[in-house]
Amino acid sequence: MTVASSTAMTYLVTGGAGFIGSHLTDALLARGDSVVVLDDLSTGSEDNLAGHDTPRLRFVRGSVLDPALVDELTGRCDAVVHLAAAVGVKLIVERPLSSFLTNVRGAEHVIEAARRHDRPVLLASTSEIYGKNSGGPLNESSDRVLGATSVARWSYSTAKAVEEILAFGYHREYGLPTTVVRLFNTVGPRQSPAYGMVIPRLVRQAVAREPLSVYGDGSQRRCFTHVADAVEALLLLLHHPAAVGGVFNVGGAEETSIRDLATRIVRRAGSDSRIDTISFDDAYGPGFEDMERRLPDTTKLRELTGWRPQRSLDDILDATISEVRAEQLPALA
């Protein structure tokens, strides 16, 4: 399914040099829109945008924590997609304060600038919103179940909740057209392995024929979304009149335990790696908490837009394995 743009527009994509942001930028440029990327390259890379040689793409190295810059760029664009954030369990656990402040203040600057210039905003939130709620498919009204504030992981969930509350509040009180998407584990090419994302990490270990490190006992269950499916959902929601003021889960349909995932990665990579389990305390430090199951209910998005994930878990794994092999080719030459 390709989503065509009826009238070419200019989008400000914060975090557009990151994993999801660069794929969204590809898609917007492909359909004829223009994109201004604002990114401080803290976890993103200009390489992610290197495939484009067009005046319709402008890259600005800067921070969403700079309100004057955010204001200026917002005024030059027709709509904003806010993806810039401190992301990844490892980063959040290692740098909880700066991550929290980046996410809360960055969102506040972006939404406030959008209000001043009356621009629609699509804001990326997360399945971490649901915290430890493991009670079956999670819909947008499911409860948030969080641990103690002293557990660093929940600061990310809380920061994203504050971002959502800002988006809802600015919509209700100022009429600002805001839409929130809750992305579940999104995977695919260009995702950094450095911040605790499980598939990039396990695939690199399998391709290098090193032991795969499964955290916890591996019985925790997750669904993964191919980034191309996630981007399609964002495009469908952008400017959908009935999406304004709403919140939508975006997630894959195929559930797997992390242990089965590791076995599958070893098999699909043609590897002979063994699978080790590492306690959460050893992986992330004492007191880390995880949830047993996180399964999205995407009925709301499907009923509004017809969206369904098109790529299987094997598609996701094969794409990641191919990318990791291609990265390693120069090293082997």
Name residues whose C-beta falls within 8 Å of residue 97's C-beta, 6 or more positions apart in sequence.
none
Catalytic residue among 130, 156, 170, 195: 156
Q: Does 111 bind ligand NAD (CB under 6 A)?
A: no
Secondary structure class of 328 (helix, strand, coil) = helix
Residue among 63 and 155 whose Cβ is closer to ligand NAD: 63
End-to-end CA distance of the chain: 38
Q: Does 155 bind ligand NAD (CB under 6 A)?
A: no
Q: Does 39 bind ligand NAD (CB under 6 A)?
A: yes
Secondary structure class of 312 (helix, strand, coil) = coil
Q: Does 96 bind ligand NAD (CB under 6 A)?
A: no
Binding mask of the shown chain, residues 177 to 216, with x at each position contacting ligand NAD by CB under 6 A: ------x-xx------------------------------
As measured in angstroms, the least distance from the Cβ of 67 to ligand NAD is 12
Residue among 168 and 211 whose Cβ is closer to ligand NAD: 168
Q: Does 87 bind ligand NAD (CB under 6 A)?
A: yes
As measured in angstroms, the least distance from the Cβ of 331 to ligand NAD is 23
Q: Does 60 bind ligand NAD (CB under 6 A)?
A: no
Q: How far apart are CA 318 and CA 312, in angstroms?
A: 10
222 in Cβ contact with 255 (< 8 Å): yes
Q: How far apart are CA 319 and CA 45, in angstroms?
A: 20
Q: Does 40 bind ligand NAD (CB under 6 A)?
A: yes
As measured in angstroms, the least distance from the Cβ of 274 to ligand NAD is 27
Residue 280's CB is within 10 A of a number of other CB atoms, namely 16
Question: How large is the angle between the packed helices 198-207 and 258-268, nearest 10 degrees?
Answer: 40
Question: How large is the angle between the packed helices 96-117 and 67-76, nearest 10 degrees?
Answer: 40
Q: Does 138 bind ligand NAD (CB under 6 A)?
A: no
3-state secondary structure 147-197: CCCCCCHHHHHHHHHHHHHHHHHHHHHHCCCEEEEEECCEECCCCCCCCCC
The only residue of 12, 15, 146, 324 in contact with ligand NAD, by rule CB under 6 A: 15
**Is 174 one of the catalytic residues?**
no
Residue among 43 and 273 whose Cβ is closer to ligand NAD: 43
As measured in angstroms, the least distance from the Cβ of 86 to ligand NAD is 6
As measured in angstroms, the least distance from the Cβ of 88 to ligand NAD is 7
The only residue of 26, 36, 43, 206 in contact with ligand NAD, by rule CB under 6 A: 43
Q: Does 298 bind ligand NAD (CB under 6 A)?
A: no
Q: What share of the chain is helix, strand, coil (3-state, %, to 5)?
A: 45, 20, 40
180 in Cβ contact with 190 (< 8 Å): no
212 in Cβ contact with 263 (< 8 Å): no
DSSP per position, 241-296: GGGTT-EEEE--S-EEEHHHHHHHHHHHTT----EEEE-HHHHH-TT----SEE-B
The only residue of 12, 28, 44, 243 in contact with ligand NAD, by rule CB under 6 A: 44
3 in Cβ contact with 34 (< 8 Å): no
Residue among 191 and 271 whose Cβ is closer to ligand NAD: 191
The only residue of 77, 83, 129, 228 in contact with ligand NAD, by rule CB under 6 A: 83
As measured in angstroms, the least distance from the Cβ of 25 to ligand NAD is 11
As measured in angstroms, the least distance from the Cβ of 13 to ligand NAD is 10
Binding site for ligand NAD (CB under 6 A): 14-15, 17-21, 38-44, 63-65, 83-87, 102, 106, 124, 126, 183, 185-186
Question: Which of the residues are catalytic?
Answer: 156
